[in-house]
Each structure stands twice: as C-alpha cells, then as structure tokens.
Amino acid sequence: VRNCNMKFSFRNLLGTVYHSGNLAFTSDGFNLFSPVGNKVSVFDLKSNLSETLPVESRFNITALALSPSGTLLVTANEEGEVSLISLLHARLLCSHRLNGHVRHIAFSPNGNHGDSIVSVRFRQDNSLDLLSVSRNGRLCFWKSSLDMKHLDSKGALDEEEDKKDAKIFYTRQARHYLGDLVLDSEGKRVQGATLTAADYCARIKVLVTGFSTGAFFIHEVSIDSIQGEGDSLTMIHSLSFSTSGAISSLAFTPSGEWVAIASEDTGTLAVWEWASETFILKQEGEFNMFTHVVFSPDGSKMATGSENGHVKLWSYNDGFCFQTFREHSTSVTGLCFGGAEGKIVVSASADGSVRAFDLIRYRNFRTFTSPTPAQFSCVAVDLAAELVAAGAEDTFDAYLWSVKTGSLLEVLSGHEGPVSCLAFSPSPVTATKMVTGSWDHTLRLWEPATSATSEETMTLSSEVLSVVWRPDARELAVATLDGRITFFDPVQMKESGSIEGRKDLGVGLSSTDLITKEKVREGKAFKTISYSADGESLLAAGDGKFICLYNVAEALLVDRFQVTQNYSFGGMLDFVSKRMRARKPEMDDREKDLSGGVEKRVVLPGSRMRDMTARTQRPEVRVSSVAFSPTGRAWSATTSEGLLLFSSDPRNNLFRPIHLEENVTPESVRQALADKEYGTALDHAFKLNEASLLQEVTDAIPAAEIEVMCSTLTQKHVLRLLSFAALQLESSRQVELYLRWIHALMSSHALALKGFSRPGKLQEVVHALQKALARKRDQLTSLSEHNKYMIRYLSRFKTDEEKMEEDDDDDGEDVPNEESD
C-alpha cells in the first residue's frame, strides 16, 4: 500500500521565530541560530532562507552554544538535559542530564572545553579583565591581578607548588548605572525597569544592553579611559525595540556589525545593523495559534489564519512571511485561495465579515457581510473565483456573494444547526456545485447558481466537522465527531467507504488529568482532512499528537507523523502516575530566569494562599488544519508549535529502486552513456530511481537527441521525467537544458496525456511544473531588474568605444590621401 513518493519527512517550522533562550551567530556572521520551543531554527541572512533542524528536545530549549568550528551545537532544555548536535548531518550525537537548570552555555575559544557565563564578558582578547552587568543595570569594569602570560597548565604533581602561587584577584575600576538611561515619554526615569539581556563585542569594544521596557542601548567602551579621567562609556544608540515586551536575548556577530535582538513576550526576532540603522532581518512570530493553512494553486505560497485575526502569506521556498493582513478583529475561521492562478485570498472571521485580499497590490478589495449579523465559521471560492460562499454558526445559513460586485446573491437555508464546513467542486464540469456540512448530522449538496434549495441531503451518524472534495470531484470525504471519516459518491450521494480512525489520533494525558486515557479519547475526533493531489491518499488530524496518512482505496493507515516530542505541552503523556497528580500546580509553572519576564511570587512556608492568576495548565498539543500541496510533494499543518512543513523531496530519501535487476547498476548506466546508448542509460536510471544518477544521464544526453529520446518514452516514464525536470528547475543552473526536456516531452505526449488513466497524478505533475517555472521566472526577473542600469551603462560604454574606433579608422584613411596629393 505504501507509495515510495509518499515518504514524507520534516522540512521546516514556520510561524515561530523565537521562544526563549539565547541566540548564537556562526563565525562568518551570516547564520543565526534561534531556539523555537524544543527545536532550533537557522536563519541564513545572506541567502534570506530559514530552516529548522530535524532534532527535537523533550522540553523547551533555554540555552544553546555553537562551537568555534561551526560543526557542533549544544542545547539545554528546561529540565537540564544537554544535547550535542552535529550540524554537518543534522543528527543528535549524545545527550546528558544535569541536576539543575542551565542558564547559559559557552564553548572555550579553542572548542575543547565548556564554561558557564552569566552576563560576564572579557573586555578584550588575550586579557583576563572583565566587565559585568547586573539585573539592576549596574555595569562594572574589573581589573585582573594577573595577565594571560602568568597562566600555566599544571599537572597533579604540582599541587603543592600551586598552593603557594598567587591567586587571581579582581579590583573594580569603574561602574555605571545604565538603568538611569531608561526614560518614559516625559523624560522621567522608568521605575522598576530591569536589565534583561546584554552582549559585548571585544573586537570593536561595543556593549549592547536590553531592558524589560523593550529599550536597548549601544555603548562604546573605551579601555584606555577606564584608568584615566576620561569617560569610559559613550552612548552610540538609544532605541526601543518593542513597547509591549521585554528584550530576552542580544547577540553580536563576530565582527560586531550586526546585533540580533529577540523578545520572548512578543515572539519577535530581528537582526539590526547599528551603523546604518537598518534591519537585516525582522520576523514576528505568531503568538496566537494558527487556525487554518492553505496552499496556492502552484504550491509556491501558503496562507495562514490565526486566532488574533491575522492573515499571513508565506513563501514555501525560503520559509519567510512576506505579507500580513490585519483587517479582521477576531479569529479567522476560514481561508482559501481563489482562481486558477491564486491571485486572491478570501478569509472568514467570527467578527461577521468575509474579506477578499488582492495578492498583486496586497490590499483588502472586497468585504462581504450578511443582512443580519452572523459569525462565519467557514468559507469557499468557486473555481473561476466569481462566487464566494460562507457558512454561519448562529443563523444556520450559508451565504453566497459575487466577487465582482460584492453583492449578496443567495441565502441558502435548510440546516438546523451551525454550518461547520462547505466546499465548491474543483472540477470545471461541476464547478458551481457546492457541499455543506452541519452539526445537525447532515450533508447537503447545492447548485446555488440555479436554485436556493439543496439537491441532495445525506444524514450521517454524528456532527459534521470537515468535508473535502477529491481533486477530480468524483468523491467526497467527511469527518464527523464520532471519529469516523466517511466517503461518498457525489453523483449517487451514496456511501462508498469509511475509516474508523479515533484510535489513530494518539490522544495523550496531561499531568492534571483525573480521568483515564479511554475517557479522554471519547471526546476526540478528526477535525481537519485533506486529499493528496492524486486523490489516492488522505491526511487527517485533530485533537491529538499524531497526523495520520491514509490510503483511500484500502482504507488503511499508511503512516503517522508525531506533531512534537515536546513534553512542555499538555496531552503528551501516555500514563500519569499518582506522584504527578499530587504535584502542586506551582511546580508546573516555569520560573522566569534573569533573561527577563515577571518574577514569580514567593509562597511563604505554611501559607495556604497562592497566586490565583498564575497559569496552572500547559497548552495542549493539537492540530487545527492540514493541507496538501498541489504538487503532491509536500504538506503542511497548523499545530500548537506553529506551522509544520513536511516534504517528500527525493534528495532526502534513501535508495528505493523501482525495478532492480542484476544487470541494472550505476556502472551499467555510465557504461551505456560512454557507448552512446542513451535509451538504455535512461531506462536503467529510471529503474534505479536515483535522482543524482538520473541527473547525470539527462545532463549527458546531447541536445540534438532529446526529441528522439522523448518520443520513445512511455506515459509512466514521461510523468516521472516531467516531475524530475520540475524538481531540477528549482535548484539546477541548467535552465535551458531542462526547458528543452519539458518542451520535447509536452510536444510528443500532450495529446496522449489528456487521456491518462490517473488524472490526479497528471494534475500533480502539472502543478509542480507551474511552480518551478514561476519561481525561475521570478528569479530571472529580479536579477534582470537588479542589473538593468548596469547593462545600460555597459552598452553605452561599448558604443562609445566603437565610435572612437570608427573615428580612428576615419583618421587613418585620410593620411594616404594627403600624401598622394
């Protein structure tokens, strides 16, 4: 049942750019490591890319350190577990549990030993002098009694001698009170402002400090003036990063040109170039949980909605958010792209509005409302992007609007409960058909363009939570509250199959649960489902720690993906002991360390009173939405941790041959290329299913032979080669070569592909090609625009040279004429 193309692995985590702990730069200053929950994200500031390491800790990460060579990463979590990660292979090497909370980790300069440093830095290289910063904002400079040359490594035999040696003493030379610099709008000192983060760059002697008010200061430290009469501290910048949260971490690049700033309260991460006062990177994490995620028709973009009403657009390739719409005033309850090219995004909200956003000018160009106030729970757009439909929770009706005019066309009544989901048919033949699901246990099929009454009604066993069409519109999948997924034939409106998946959800317990796991499972169900591009597989998830991938034809579970291994979330335990149930709620609250935040109230011994406003429950792990990419090679899910991306990129998979024979080897492929037997080489490469080998063959075949080779391929090989070409276009520099392959394949097999027996698979390949071509077009357009004026300058300069050469030639022709005269 398992398809080799359905082997997905974790790719990236979006929506969360910083959670807690410190930041770290690589030695070149172009890569920034940021802890995001129990994972670590890496931001490439040079290529403008982000990725998350596929290594998870059991709890939230609170500290990390990067080795000087840049090949090892050490992390520590809330429970004192320290992990060593190889950055070359992105694998966990080993872990060790300490007996206390780790506040900071640091490698020694040569990378041989580790030492703990808390707000203490060496003033300059090859010196033992220190500077220290305390929480009250006091900065102190300390002079060491010894120099580096007086230090020596001694063995065990020198212990008696070592006792006679002089010890290292520090003498305070100067001190400054940085807390006096934190002022309000009226110029008065802010009372209670504490210093929460600091970093010092010894190379350029610059200190940066951050405070609980969101303000941060950059000072130049004058080493020569510390002992003299001059001022040892000169302010360079005084700015405010955030007015609603404290600065949690600060980090200089090794060169000191950039400083990374992070806030745990707002989930914001930024890299600031203080000399030019510009942001190199600024990303705002989504503090509220995502509610929906959808892919654009070409798979290059994603749109997400969240509980705070924000609609965000994400780039699938680099992982960054490039646009945020904030028009909604409360939670986004529905989201979808409109049109074959995905030029609009439509969102529904509980604030009683449905909004359409233009992705060319990035504006809200239509706002749809109902005649009477209603809280919308879902939204859908037809294939031609001419109609918008939304279901309401309180009025039990579905509303239909025109995108062009914004006017209300129909009010579809008939349901006796909240309309929880609706969807238009994805087929051009039945594009005006729409299906709605409700809590009244019914599923209704509508033809809103011709009638305001439902054509068919199907009664189900429980409340309907989600409904989706298969990409070819020949099947409907419905998720209900009893944990079942039921499949229907939309023409006959008869049940064609079902899946009992409640036990596959992987429901867990929290430390405060007083009921059994079986009782907890009774209230859980799949709340979101999505078909794959070929319609052969179905993703399902809900209030559980697993995302399930089913084979539709066999109604079997193909794979399960665990959302997280972070036990800082609730609902992760399989068993709760009596000891854990007896723990006081205060023991589950993580204390805020010196990095910032509100101090936890100390409970006096014997006191029965405690802080009733303190949170006693951890957020539970759950999945609110899943979506398959139209390319079929990736899918995403909105979870408690953020936006998860999974990919089936063949470059990350193991060796999985399709048809392995004794004489089919990489050596036979290369020998066939050497003998110019290109057909044999291509056939053997297909059988081995090795991407690098197939690339070697396609690159070696001469351009004159491409059309001949394409005309002899079968339909199965044509689709595989088109999919491979789409993948290569995204990463290879040989754009013209793969465009020749695509053109030859489509020219030779276009008519035959129209009658292909698996239209879903064909649609998946076409979407992959569309995505690759669109991305390459954007890259070339951006490069041409960037170099447009340089090309103009060079072309004019070349023209001037040609004119000068012509003038020289004209002068040379006149000389003989004068002599002849």
Q: Picking from 24-38, 271-285, 320-334, 785-799, which range would have the lowest pLDDT averaged per residue? A: 785-799
> In sequence order, which residues have a C-beta less than 8 Å from that of residue 653 and are 6 or more positions away?
4, 7, 9
Q: Report residue 589's pLDDT band, with 50, 70 and 90 as the boundaries.
A: very low
The CA R_g of the chain, rounded to the nearest whole Å, is 32
Residue 173 has pLDDT above 50, yes or no: yes
Which residue is listed with tokens 């702990």?
21
The model's pLDDT over 82-106, given as tens digits with 9 standing for 90+, comes to: 999 999 888 899 999 887 788 888 7
In the chain, how many H helices and how many E strands? 12, 50
Helical H runs in 616-665? none
Q: Say whether both 132 and 223 belong to one domain.
A: yes
What percent of the residues of the chain are helix, what percent strand, and what percent coil, each to the nearest 5?
A: 20, 35, 45
Antiparallel, parallel or unpaired: β 106-107 and 114-115: antiparallel
Residue 157 has pLDDT above 90, yes or no: no
Q: Say whether both 198 and 276 belong to one domain.
A: yes
Q: Counting beta carbons within 10 angstroms of the beta carbon of residue 714, is it exposed (0 to 12), middle (13 to 18) or buried (19 or more)?
A: exposed
Q: Tell me, what's the pLDDT at 708?
A: 83
Q: Say whether both 455 and 561 belong to one domain.
A: no
Q: Picking from 43-52, 199-208, 328-337, 804-813, which range would have the lowest pLDDT averaged per residue? A: 804-813
Q: Tell me, what's the pLDDT at 653?
A: 46
Q: Report residue 809's pLDDT band, with 50, 70 and 90 as the boundaries.
A: low
Q: Tell me, what's the pLDDT at 820?
A: 43
Q: Tell me, what's the pLDDT at 48?
A: 81
Residue 76 has pLDDT above 80, yes or no: yes
**Nearest 10 degrees: CA dihedral of 432, 438, 442, 444?**
-10
Q: Tell me, what's the pLDDT at 463?
A: 93
**Nearest CA-CA partner of 590 in 621, 574, 566, 573:** 566
- Torsion angles phi and psi, residue 582, rounded to 5: -85, -10
Residue 357 has pLDDT above 50, yes or no: yes
Q: Picking from 218-222, 293-297, 327-331, which range would have the lowest pLDDT averaged per residue? A: 218-222
Residue 777 has pLDDT above 70, yes or no: yes
Q: Tell me, what's the pLDDT at 656?
A: 56
Q: Tell me, what's the pLDDT at 53?
A: 92
How far, in Å, CA of 415 to CA of 463, rounded? 12
Query: If residue 354 lies in a helix (H) or strand (E), which one and from where to where?
Result: strand 354-358
Q: Say whether both 637 and 572 belong to one domain.
A: yes
Q: Report residue 149's pLDDT band, with 50, 70 and 90 as the boundaries.
A: low
Residue 586 has pLDDT above 50, yes or no: no
Q: Report residue 166's pLDDT band, with 50, 70 and 90 as the boundaries.
A: low
Q: Tell me, what's the pLDDT at 479?
A: 94
Q: Tell me, what's the pLDDT at 698?
A: 86
Tell me if 664 is assigned to some domain. Answer: no
Q: Strand pairing partners for 323?
A: 313
Q: Tell me, what's the pLDDT at 61?
A: 92
Interior angle at CA 442, CA 441 and CA 448, nearest 5: 150
Domain range enclosing 572: 509-584+618-648
Tell me if 240 is assigned to some domain. Answer: yes
Tell me if 135 is assigned to some domain. Answer: yes
Antiparallel, parallel or unpaired: β 81-86 and 72-77: antiparallel
Residue 120 has pLDDT above 60, yes or no: no
Decide if 548 contacts 507 (C-beta within 8 A). no
Residue 645 has pLDDT above 60, yes or no: yes
Tell me if 360 is assigned to some domain. Answer: no
How far, in Å, CA of 38 to CA of 697, rounded? 42
Greater pLDDT, 5 or 440: 440
Q: Report residue 328's pLDDT band, with 50, 70 and 90 as the boundaries.
A: very high
Residue 580 has pLDDT above 80, yes or no: no
Q: Picking from 173-177, 188-192, 480-484, 679-683, which range would have the lowest pLDDT averaged per residue? A: 173-177
Tell me if 358 is assigned to some domain. Answer: no
Q: Counting beta carbons within 10 angstroms of the beta carbon of residue 224, is it exposed (0 to 12), middle (13 to 18) or buried (19 or more)?
A: exposed
Residue 764 has pLDDT above 80, yes or no: no
Q: Strand pairing partners for 683?
A: none
Hey, what are 737's tokens?
Answer: 């070569």
Q: Per-residue pLDDT averaged across 472-477, rounded?
A: 91
Residue 532 has pLDDT above 60, yes or no: yes
Decide if 55 contacts 306 (C-beta within 8 A). no
Tell me if 737 is assigned to some domain. Answer: yes
Q: Report residue 4's pLDDT band, with 50, 70 and 90 as the boundaries.
A: very low
Q: Say whether both 493 and 527 belong to one domain.
A: no
Q: Tell me, what's the pLDDT at 111?
A: 46
Single-letter amino acid code for the residue at 327: E
Q: Report residue 435's pLDDT band, with 50, 70 and 90 as the boundaries.
A: very high
Q: Counting beta carbons within 10 angstroms of the beta carbon of residue 137, is it exposed (0 to 12), middle (13 to 18) or buried (19 or more)?
A: buried
> In sequence order, which residues have a C-beta less than 8 Å from that of residue 815 and are 6 or more positions away?
none
Q: Say whether both 431 and 533 belong to one domain.
A: no
Q: Tell me, what's the pLDDT at 107?
A: 77
Q: Tell me, what's the pLDDT at 618?
A: 72
Residue 210 has pLDDT above 50, yes or no: yes
Residue 226 has pLDDT above 60, yes or no: no
Q: Say whether both 184 and 252 belong to one domain.
A: yes
The conformational region for residue 175 under phi > 0 = left, psi -120 to 50 = alpha, else beta, is: beta
pTM score: 0.73
Tell me if 630 is assigned to some domain. Answer: yes
Antiparallel, parallel or unpaired: β 484-489 and 476-480: antiparallel
Q: Out of 256, 285, 314, pick the residue that ends a domain.
A: 285
Q: Tell me, what's the pLDDT at 651?
A: 45
- Write the DSSP string, 157-216: GGHHHHHHSPPP-EEEEEEEEGGGG-B-TTSPBPTT--EEEEEEETTTTEEEEEETTSEE
Q: Report residue 676's pLDDT band, with 50, 70 and 90 as the boundaries.
A: confident
Decide if 174 contacts 223 (C-beta within 8 A). no
Decide if 22 contacts 251 (C-beta within 8 A). yes
- Mean pLDDT (the chain) is 80
Q: Out of 229, 252, 285, pick the residue that ends a domain.
A: 285
Q: Strand pairing partners for 170?
A: 144
Q: Tell me, what's the pLDDT at 599?
A: 45
Q: Say whether both 624 and 571 belong to one domain.
A: yes
Q: Report residue 391's pLDDT band, with 50, 70 and 90 as the boundaries.
A: very high
Q: Say whether both 425 and 532 belong to one domain.
A: no
Q: Tell me, what's the pLDDT at 578?
A: 59
Q: Report residue 787's pLDDT band, with 50, 70 and 90 as the boundaries.
A: confident
Tell me if 50 is assigned to some domain. Answer: no
What total number of domains does the chain contain? 4
How far, in Å, CA of 528 to CA of 485, rounded? 10
Helical H runs in 468-607? 517-522, 578-582
How far, in Å, CA of 801 to CA of 721, rounded? 48
> In sequence order, which residues have a C-beta less than 8 Å from that of residue 301 and are 6 or more positions away?
295, 313, 314, 315, 316, 342
Distance from the first to the final alpha carbon of the chain: 97
Q: Out of 471, 500, 529, pick the residue that ends a domain.
A: 500
Q: Per-residue pLDDT averaged across 383-410, rounded?
A: 92
Q: Say whether both 431 and 523 belong to one domain.
A: no
Q: Picking from 77-81, 216-220, 473-477, 586-590, which range would have the lowest pLDDT averaged per residue? A: 586-590
Q: Report residue 341's pLDDT band, with 50, 70 and 90 as the boundaries.
A: confident
Task: Give the total residue count for the chain.
Answer: 821
Single-letter amino acid code for the residue at 538: L
Distances, alpha carbon 285 to alpha carbons 12, 13, 584, 586, 613, in Å: 14, 11, 32, 28, 25
Residue 305 has pLDDT above 90, yes or no: yes
Q: Say whether both 477 and 445 belong to one domain.
A: yes
Neighbours of 635 (CB within 10 A): 26
CATH classification of the domain holding 436: 2.130.10.10
Q: Say whether both 128 and 202 belong to one domain.
A: yes
Q: Strand pairing partners for 95?
A: 83
Q: What is the DSSP letter of 592?
A: P
Q: Tell me, what's the pLDDT at 125?
A: 54
Residue 12 has pLDDT above 80, yes or no: yes
Instruction: Quote the distance between the C-alpha of residue 482 and its chain's center.
Output: 32
Residue 646 has pLDDT above 70, yes or no: yes
